[in-house]
């Protein structure tokens, strides 16, 4: 124990102790009473002293108690501090991991709470500048919470109360951990010297204090000196079973059939048997028991590897719905126990055919499994308002048959003949009698399409931009190309079908089928509904006056308004689960936010973290309470002593 302001304590005691003694002796002037003889009284007093032990002590008990109380008050004035850290004030940056793995409950209540507790203990141990001291030796700290993003929770301050309150306010997240951004932010703040910190920047660099379980994804990209960072490892157990991958998709052939794949990983040291449940829209569809092998520990040169099992469910569900795969056992981390998938209703494409009349193409398209095929004249297509056309999304695919339209609404195009203008594609001339020399048979568009015998009597010479994907080539020019421009997808065929022998090939119908499927699939890929934690929900083309309501897990609820461009973004997907976005007049849209991150599910705490060029071992012990001011304790002791003194006085006086 040391004293911050010993001189003040000394001065005060020099005044107060003699004063108390003086008061005590003044107080002892007893009231005089004449008696006939003190004989019997003296005998009685003697008897009392003989029969009551510690009588002598008791006579001075009040003085002793008062002296003790005074000593406690004086000592608290001197500012005693337990385990004083000496030296000038330092600056600390507390990095608190709030990623998914920090939700593990192997440390009660959760790792994040344990980290907060340790961080608060650290804050409490900081030196606060004494108002009575003329040297400012207070420590400053800043708090950053990070998952895959870093957020400044509290800027540099020495206000412990504020720091503790802000640490308390850190919310858990389900994201992955990335330390890099946090370190960058910390350095940026630590180097900027505010007016308050003038002259401090030249001092020692701020000390980074990391509270984490060490499961951080980007450690090898972080360059920190090993002395600059303190690592407090949090967590005890590695026992966790998590879903690390999940996908659900409809089969091409039978759209009502849904295939669900899930990968379960066991990170514990023992094999476990778990029930895995598949639910659709809250109704349990199947429960399957699986045994997942144990995690293989790291052997020489072989990293540790989690035991994995892949599950495959298939079900028949022709409606939209929310799929949930959940492992039913309980383990330390709950956010990876379930994964969700959004199932769209089986969708058949609507196709707009812009042609002057092409029965071959029309019949080939009609052979494909599409919802409808609307023929349209080139003049009719040019007459459409492109903005309205793009907004209504009536058609999944537009087939342009040898027509260069005046304007191109956003959409997906299958273009035969001359390429549309405005795509950076030039058609400088025509070629004759072209034969295919090469094609990419593995591409989805050309799967099972035999193009060996394709011959084009007339073809446009195409000069494609560099990012175009060439699917088939004539000897002098590309024949088939895939191009993405302005949010639209174009599948360009450089020749008119009627100028080739393709209609007589069986591959033509297959090509049409593949092309429509592929381009339709671009639609659903646009409406991505499976998100990682932290990825924003984006909805486009929302009417300007609409108000969208988002309901998420954990009581997340928000009302959203579109920006002037008609886009709504909801960035608050910090927890895993199903988010429902409700518009006033439509059925809610569902978005699944999944963890699906083996790095986070692997909750085994690390003894050391391996940075780019340094290895930082975890601190052996938790945060030790230092710089503990003892004056409140001493003041309490003084209060208790005064109370005891009062009690003793009353017991003594009362007959």
Partner 1 sequence: MSATKPTTRKLSELLDPQFMARLDSLDLLSRKVLQGKLQGERRSKRRGRSVEFADHRPYVVGDDLRFVDWNVYGRLEQLFLKLFLEEQDLTVHVLVDASASMGVGEPAKGLFAKRLTAALGYISLVNSNRLTISLFGDGVRTQLANLRGRNYLPQMAEMLLTTDCDGLSDFEKACRDATAARLGSGITIVISDFLFKQGYESALRRLIGAHYDLYVIQVLSPQEIAPELAGDLKLLDIEDGDVAEITVSSALIKYYKRNLAAYCDELRNFCTNRGAVYVQANSADSIESLVLNYLRRIQLLR
Residues at the interface with partner 1 (CB under 8 A): 28, 30-45, 47-48, 51-52, 59, 652-655
State which residue, 36 or 452, has the beta carbon closest to partner 1: 36
**Cβ distance 79 to 631 under 8 Å?**
yes
Name the residue nearer to partner 1 (CB basis): 31 or 135. 31
* Smallest distance, partner 1 to C-beta of residue 29, A: 8
Q: Which is nearer to partner 1, 35 or 299 (CB)?
A: 35
Smallest gap from Cβ 641 to partner 1, in A, equals 21
Question: HSE on the CB side for 201, CA within 13 Å?
Answer: 12
CA distance to 222, 355, 395, 396, 625, per residue, from 371 (Å): 53, 19, 10, 10, 71
Residue 36: CB minimum distance to partner 1, A: 4
- Rounded Cα distance between 344 and 323, Å, is 11
Question: Cβ closer to partner 1: 59 or 608?
Answer: 59
Tokens representing 566?
Answer: 């008609």
d(CA 392, CA 409): 11
In angstroms, what is the minimal distance from the CB of 56 to partner 1?
A: 13
Between 442 and 650, CB nearer to partner 1: 650
Q: Which of residues 31 and 466 has its CB atom nearest to partner 1 in the complex?
A: 31
Please give the helix or strand (H or E) that residue 65 lies within, else none.
helix 61-77
Q: How far is the CB of 643 from partner 1 (least distance, A)?
A: 21
Q: Assign residue 564 a region: left if phi > 0, alpha if psi is -120 to 50, beta otherwise?
A: alpha
Whether the CB-CB separation of 374 and 350 falls below 8 Å is answered with yes
State the minimum distance, in angstroms, from the CB of residue 16 to partner 1. Answer: 24
Question: What φ, ψ does residue 565 adopt, rounded to 5°?
Answer: -80, 0
Sign of torsion over alpha carbons 47, 53, 58, 64: positive
CA distance 235 to 223: 25
Of 38 and 433, the one with the shorter C-beta distance to partner 1 is 38
Smallest separation, CB 51 to partner 1 (Å): 7
Q: State in angstroms the smallest separation of the CB of 73 from partner 1.
A: 26
CA quadruple 505, 511, 513, 514: dihedral sign: positive
Place of tokens 């812009």: 354
Q: Which is nearer to partner 1, 45 or 379 (CB)?
A: 45
CB of 40 to partner 1, least distance (A): 5
Q: How far is the CB of 22 from partner 1 (least distance, A)?
A: 17
Shortest distance (Å) from residue 18 CB to partner 1? 22
Closest to partner 1 by CB, 617 or 651? 651
Nearer residue to partner 1 within complex by CB, 202 or 653: 653
User: Own/partner pairs for 67-73, CB < 8 Å, 24+ apart?
Assistant: 67/17, 67/20, 68/641, 69/637, 69/638, 69/641, 69/642, 69/645, 70/13, 70/16, 70/17, 70/20, 70/638, 71/13, 72/634, 72/635, 72/637, 72/638, 72/641, 73/16, 73/634, 73/635, 73/638
In the bound state with partner 1, the residue whose beta carbon lies nearer, of 1 and 48, is 48
Q: What is the closest distance, in whole angstroms, from the C-beta atom of residue 28 to partner 1 in the complex?
A: 7
Structure tokens at 398: 């537009």
The nearest distance, CB 640 to partner 1, in angstroms, is 24
Nearest CA-CA partner of 343 in 247, 242, 252, 261: 247
CA 549 vs CA 174, 282, 505, 572, 585: distances in Å: 22, 21, 52, 13, 12
Are the CB atoms for 551 and 518 separated by under 8 Å?
Answer: no
User: Which of residues 42 and 372 has its CB atom nearest to partner 1 in the complex?
Assistant: 42
Q: Which is nearer to partner 1, 30 or 466 (CB)?
A: 30
Q: Name the β-bridge partners of 67.
A: none
C-beta closer to partner 1: residue 46 or 569: 46
Nearer to partner 1, 61 or 479 (CB): 61
Sheet containing 257-266: order of strands:
241-250, 257-266, 307-316
Q: Is 620 or 654 the residue whose CB approaches partner 1 more closely?
A: 654
DSSP per position, 282-329: TEEEEEEEEEEPPPBPPBTTB--B-EEEEEEEEEE--S-EEEEEEE-S
Q: Residue 38 or residue 193: which is nearer to partner 1 going by CB? A: 38
Tell the smallest beta-carbon distance from residue 123 to partner 1 (Å).
52
Token pair for 414: 């299958």
Cα–Cα distance measured from residue 72 to residue 423, given in angstroms and rounded to the nearest whole number: 86
Q: Is the dihedral of CA 297, 302, 304, 310 positive or negative?
A: negative
List, in order, residues 6 or more apart from 108 with CB less than 8 Å away: none
Is 258 in contact with 248 (CB distance < 8 Å)? yes
Shortest distance in whole angstroms from residue 44 CB to partner 1? 4
The label of the residue with tokens 């986070």 reads 600
Say how many C-beta atoms besides its own lie within 10 A of residue 241's C-beta: 28
Q: Which two tokens stand for residue 247?
A: 């996908």
**Whole-number minimum distance, CB 654 to partner 1, in Å?**
8
Q: Residue holding tokens 């059939």?
A: 257
What is the closest distance, in whole angstroms, from the C-beta atom of residue 46 to partner 1 in the complex?
Answer: 9
By C-alpha distance, which of 217, 215, 238, 230 is closest to 107?
A: 238
């Amino acid at each position: 124990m040391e004293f911050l302001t010993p001189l003040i304590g000394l001065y005060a005691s020099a005044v107060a102790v003699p004063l108390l003694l003086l008061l005590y002796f003044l107080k002892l002037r007893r009231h005089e009473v004449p008696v006939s003889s003190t004989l019997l009284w003296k005998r009685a007093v003697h008897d009392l002293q003989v029969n009551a032990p510690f009588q002598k002590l008791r006579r001075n008990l009040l003085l002793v108690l008062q002296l003790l109380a005074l000593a406690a008050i004086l000592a608290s004035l001197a500012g005693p501090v337990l385990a004083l850290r000496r030296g000038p004030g330092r600056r600390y940056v507390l990095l608190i991991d709030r990623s998914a793995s920090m939700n593990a409950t192997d440390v009660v209540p959760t790792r994040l709470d344990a980290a907060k507790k340790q961080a608060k203990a650290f804050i409490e141990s900081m030196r606060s500048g004494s108002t009575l001291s003329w040297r400012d030796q207070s420590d400053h700290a800043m708090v950053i919470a990070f998952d895959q993003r870093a957020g400044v929770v509290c800027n540099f301050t020495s206000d412990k109360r504020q720091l503790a309150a802000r640490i308390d306010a850190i919310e858990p997240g389900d994201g992955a951990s990335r330390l890099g951004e946090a370190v960058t932010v910390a350095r940026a703040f630590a180097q900027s010297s505010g007016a308050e910190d003038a002259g401090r920047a030249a001092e020692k660099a701020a000390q980074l204090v990391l509270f984490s379980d060490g499961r951080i994804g980007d450690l090898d990209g972080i360059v920190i000196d090993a002395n600059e960072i303190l690592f407090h490892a949090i967590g005890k157990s590695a026992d966790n079973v998590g879903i690390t991958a999940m996908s659900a998709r409809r089969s091409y052939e039978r759209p009502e059939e849904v295939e669900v794949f899930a990968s379960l990983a066991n990170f514990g040291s023992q094999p476990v048997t778990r029930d895995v449940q598949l639910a659709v829209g809250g109704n349990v569809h199947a429960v399957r028991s699986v045994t997942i092998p144990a995690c293989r520990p790291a052997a020489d040169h072989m990293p540790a590897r989690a035991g994995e099992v892949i599950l495959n469910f298939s079900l028949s569900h022709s409606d939209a719905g929310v799929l949930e795969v959940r492992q039913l056992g309980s383990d330390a981390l709950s956010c990876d126990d379930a994964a969700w998938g959004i199932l769209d209703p089986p969708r058949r494409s609507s196709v707009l055919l812009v042609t002057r009349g092409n029965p071959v193409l029309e019949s080939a398209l009609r052979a494909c499994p599409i919802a409808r095929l609307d023929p349209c004249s080139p003049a009719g297509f040019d007459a459409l308002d492109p903005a309205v056309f793009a907004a209504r999304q009536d058609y999944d695919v537009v087939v342009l048959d040898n027509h260069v339209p005046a304007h191109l609404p956003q959409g997906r195009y299958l273009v035969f003949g001359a390429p549309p203008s405005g795509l950076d594609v030039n058609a400088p001339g025509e070629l004759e009698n072209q034969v295919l020399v090469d094609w990419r048979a593995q591409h989805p568009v050309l799967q099972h399409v035999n193009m060996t015998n394709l011959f084009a009597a007339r073809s446009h010479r195409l000069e494609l931009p560099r990012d175009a994907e060439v699917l088939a080539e004539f000897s002098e020019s590309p024949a088939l190309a895939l191009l993405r421009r302005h949010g639209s997808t174009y599948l360009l065929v450089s020749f008119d079908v009627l100028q080739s022998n393709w209609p007589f090939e069986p591959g033509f119908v297959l090509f049409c089928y593949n092309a429509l499927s592929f381009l339709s699939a671009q639609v659903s890929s646009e409406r991505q509904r499976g998100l990682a934690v932290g990825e924003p929900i984006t909805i486009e083309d929302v009417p300007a006056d609409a108000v969208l309501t988002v309901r998420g897990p954990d009581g997340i609820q928000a009302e959203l308004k579109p920006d002037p461009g008609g886009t709504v973004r909801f960035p608050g997907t910090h927890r895993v689960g199903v988010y429902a976005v409700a518009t006033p007049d439509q059925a809610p849209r569902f978005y699944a936010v999944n963890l699906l991150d083996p790095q986070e599910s692997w909750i085994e705490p690390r003894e050391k973290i391996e940075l780019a060029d340094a290895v930082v071992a975890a601190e052996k012990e938790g945060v030790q309470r230092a710089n503990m001011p003892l004056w409140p304790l001493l003041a309490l002791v003084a209060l208790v002593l005064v109370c005891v003194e009062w009690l003793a006085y009353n017991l003594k006086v009362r007959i």
